[in-house]
Chain A
């Protein structure tokens, strides 16, 4: 293709970018419809203007490498900005977002597409360009080129006006939550809020630390609930069976008289009633292909031969005992064992209220055919959320924030149930029993009323990791493998 034809195409590209995003944004959406960009929208729009300006440079001075290089650099940053900004809204429910639409999509979502188009256009132009196209002297952009640059300047002029009214002269700058545009100076908001000191974070709200028992306060008297009845241990047993890793959770299966234990090295082990012997065990591969997280803090019997184990990231694996399991076939699922276990399924629980929290426990309610998880608090998200999942499709059925029932009171204003760090749960007769490693407290939550109807301060346990129910007893698992029994 002749170079002059390419310049004409570039002029058309400049015209398009000047009219559609840059000009329309200020002259039509801004001045006519009162649309006002947020601080991030402004930079995206500015980068589109800069891409147009690079086109103007090429029209005037030829395709010099530094212009093409800078144009691609701006487009790359524009792509990043478009994704970074749109990501705030991409995961919302349908139709939700911020400010106006353009062909059915919110304006800020267009920028990534526009920068992608620019990158593609420059690549195609370079492919089609003949050698020696770069000129040493300024060239005449021709009528179409002059028109394109003129329209570009007109579009920019509108943005100069809008930017002055909406954001003000330096050092004022755009706002996260702007007000609609007006030509009336009395309504203008010139803000310095974006300059206020705030921490720099790479992952922002997704920067959530993994659950850890280290440093948790063990004394129930320092907990958020006051005047709790104290429970003294009835007996204490040590898990004598050799486990691979530190015990993470415990469950009891009454019909077969067997315990189920998980460890922080992703071992799932079935132990005899005396906790002395491993009857069956497997160490699941936590990486393939659903990541199970750093350990298995939750485990539950689904029936006398089927179990579910849960990672702190709400990913689960369902395993079934099978005396004739094919070890070679199971190799892909298990790091150790697999002769008498098979993997039935692996998946991820999706939540709404608990979305940004890790969990520390799992329970199964056979009567309700439901699995339960409870969140643990983090520095950023201090929430106690109970989530219920239907066993049939492992999909969220219900979530609630437990409320304080009659007869219970907070220790002081500002305290909350959210301070509890639940590491073990079990369900029986419509009640969720939740063991908190923080403040060594056992909560009983009515699953119909969603209220904490009873709470107990546990003596003699420090940072417990698991809970099982057995014949009118609470069995509390310690991270050292001690199982402490309390009478219910």
Chain B
């Protein structure tokens, strides 16, 4: 999944640099990548969503 996410980021960066007319698509890809990052972090940390400190 990390490979997919970095591939998305690379594609988005390429659009920003080389295809600025596709700004809207690039922004949607950015949103998708941000959401994927948050989701994957949740998957990896769901055993303790909050930092494992004394509460």
Pair A146/B2 contact, Cβ less than 8 Å: no
With contact pairs A46-B2, A167-B1, A173-B2 given, residues A200 and B40 touching in the complex (Cβ less than 8 Å): no
Cβ-defined partner of A156 (8 Å) among B10, B38, B48, B50 = B10
Q: 1/0 contact trace for B40-54 toward A, CB 8 Å? A: 110111111111111
Interchain CA distance A171-B2 in the complex, whole Å: 9
Of residues B7, B34, B38, which shows the largest number of chain A Cβ atoms within 10 Å of its Cβ? B34
Shortest distance in angstroms between A387's beta carbon and chain B's nearest beta carbon? 17
Pair B1/A53 contact, Cβ less than 8 Å: no
* Closest residue on chain A to residue B26 by CB atoms: A57
With contact pairs A88-B52, A203-B55, A204-B47 given, residues A40 and B41 touching in the complex (Cβ less than 8 Å): yes
Shortest distance in angstroms between A178's beta carbon and chain B's nearest beta carbon? 11
Pair A204/B9 contact, Cβ less than 8 Å: no
With contact pairs A49-B9, A81-B41, A138-B23 given, residues A204 and B3 touching in the complex (Cβ less than 8 Å): no
Interchain CA distance A61-B41 in the complex, whole Å: 29
B1-47 residues at the A interface, CB under 8 angstroms: 1-7, 9-10, 12-14, 16-17, 20-21, 23, 26-27, 30-31, 33-34, 37-38, 40-41, 43-47
**How many chain A residues touch B (Cβ–Cβ < 8 Å)?**
60
Cβ-defined partner of B34 (8 Å) among A74, A167, A201, A203 = A74
Pair B27/A83 contact, Cβ less than 8 Å: no
- Residues of A within 8 Å of B3, CB to CB, are 160, 163-164, 167-170
Cβ-defined partner of A73 (8 Å) among B23, B34, B41, B51 = B34
With contact pairs A156-B10, A160-B10, A176-B44 given, residues A46 and B52 touching in the complex (Cβ less than 8 Å): no
Pair B10/A153 contact, Cβ less than 8 Å: yes
Interchain CA distance A4-B46 in the complex, whole Å: 44
- Residues of B within 8 Å of A81, CB to CB, are 41
Answer yes or no: A352 CB below 8 A from chain B CBs: no
Answer yes or no: A364 CB below 8 A from chain B CBs: no
Answer yes or no: A8 CB below 8 A from chain B CBs: no
Pair A84/B45 contact, Cβ less than 8 Å: yes
- Residues of A within 8 Å of B2, CB to CB, are 42-43, 46, 163, 166-167, 173-174
Pair B20/A46 contact, Cβ less than 8 Å: no
With contact pairs A169-B4, A174-B2 given, residues A53 and B44 touching in the complex (Cβ less than 8 Å): no
Pair A200/B49 contact, Cβ less than 8 Å: yes
Interface of B is mostly: helix
Interchain CA distance A171-B40 in the complex, whole Å: 11
Answer yes or no: A226 CB below 8 A from chain B CBs: no
Pair B53/A87 contact, Cβ less than 8 Å: yes
Shortest distance in angstroms between A261's beta carbon and chain B's nearest beta carbon? 30
Pair B33/A46 contact, Cβ less than 8 Å: yes
Interchain CA distance A40-B6 in the complex, whole Å: 15
Shortest distance in angstroms between B31's beta carbon and chain A's nearest beta carbon? 7
Answer yes or no: A324 CB below 8 A from chain B CBs: no
Pair A53/B47 contact, Cβ less than 8 Å: no
Pair A194/B43 contact, Cβ less than 8 Å: yes
Interchain CA distance A70-B1 in the complex, whole Å: 22
Shortest distance in angstroms between B47's beta carbon and chain A's nearest beta carbon? 5
Shortest distance in angstroms between B40's beta carbon and chain A's nearest beta carbon? 5
Q: 1/0 contact trace for A182-220 toward B, CB 8 Å? A: 000000000000110011111111100000000000000
- Residues of A within 8 Å of B20, CB to CB, are 60-61, 138
Cβ-defined partner of A77 (8 Å) among B38, B48, B53 = B38
Pair B30/A57 contact, Cβ less than 8 Å: yes
Pair A202/B37 contact, Cβ less than 8 Å: no
22 A-B contacts (beta carbon < 8 Å): A44-B41, A46-B6, A53-B13, A60-B17, A83-B51, A84-B45, A87-B52, A160-B10, A166-B2, A167-B2, A169-B4, A174-B1, A194-B43, A199-B46, A200-B46, A200-B47, A203-B52, A203-B55, A204-B48, A204-B52, A206-B54, A206-B55
- A-B pairs, 4 with minimum CB distance: A204-B48, A138-B20, A87-B51, A39-B44
